[in-house]
Amino acid sequence: MKANSNIKKQTVRPTSAVVRKAIFDILQNIESKTFIDLYAGKGFVGMEALKKGADEVIFVEQDPVLCVFIKNSAQKKKLSDKAKIHNTDAVKFLQNCSAQFDIIFADPPYESGEIERIFKVLEKKDLLTEDGVLILQHHKNESLRENLKGVKIYKCYRYGDTLLTVYRRQE
């Protein structure tokens, strides 16, 4: 099979256990919070949010096979009542969304341009609650905007080639 250098195969890259632990160490108490897991993949981050007491987790994943995987995982763990699974493009979901969330977590394919697409939606829509947090998982070579409408970079954490950039409301 010939490799075409112009085509990047998008593969599922599950968030490592170390980075997942870091996400919830950063967030601390997420009990009674609404959590959205964009580009959910197998849903490991969102499932962890449910285990840690989130009121509701919205999983957004474009791959229908992975959506079935998330649904089955939620059922096995008896968390289906708090898990909402949307089989759609993450940016389209945000564009059509009217709700606000306490935590928006996004882990798009690295260096895919998806973060900029998310930023464009967040510039137009106020999707975070008053104390809301946006966490973006991205490659160390990707530079992100310092400020978005209403939020700015609070802190950045590095784990190997992976960065977690945390945005909070500007004070």
Task: Establish if 23 belongs to a structural domain.
Answer: yes
Could you tell me which of 106, 142, 107, 111 has the C-alpha nearest to residue 122? 106
Please name the helix (run of DSSP H) or strand (run of DSSP E) that holds residue 86, with its range, or none. Answer: strand 83-86
Domain span including residue 125: 17-169
pLDDT of residue 111: 86
Longest CA–CA span in the chain (Å) reads 54
Count Cα atoms within 13 angstroms, Cβ side, for 93.
20
Task: Establish if 10 belongs to a structural domain.
Answer: no
Task: Establish if 87 belongs to a structural domain.
Answer: yes
pLDDT of residue 11: 58
Kindly report the number of other CB atoms within 10 A of residue 84's CB atom: 15
List pLDDT tens digits, range 125-150: 989 999 999 999 999 999 898 888 88
* pLDDT for 17 beyond 70: yes
Task: Establish if 156 belongs to a structural domain.
Answer: yes
The predicted model scores a pTM of: 0.89
Task: Establish if 11 belongs to a structural domain.
Answer: no
pLDDT of residue 6: 35
How does the average pLDDT of the chain come out, rounded? 89
Q: What percent of the chain has pLDDT over 90?
A: 74
Task: Establish if 12 belongs to a structural domain.
Answer: no
Task: Establish if 1 belongs to a structural domain.
Answer: no
Structurally, the chain folds into a number of domains equal to 1
- CA gap 97, 147 in Å, rounded: 22
List pLDDT tens digits, range 30-70: 999 999 999 999 999 999 999 999 999 999 999 999 999 99
Task: Establish if 7 belongs to a structural domain.
Answer: no
* pLDDT for 12 beyond 70: no
* pLDDT for 14 beyond 90: no
8 Å CB contact between 44 and 15: yes
> In this structure, what CATH number is given to the domain that contains residue 152?
3.40.50.150
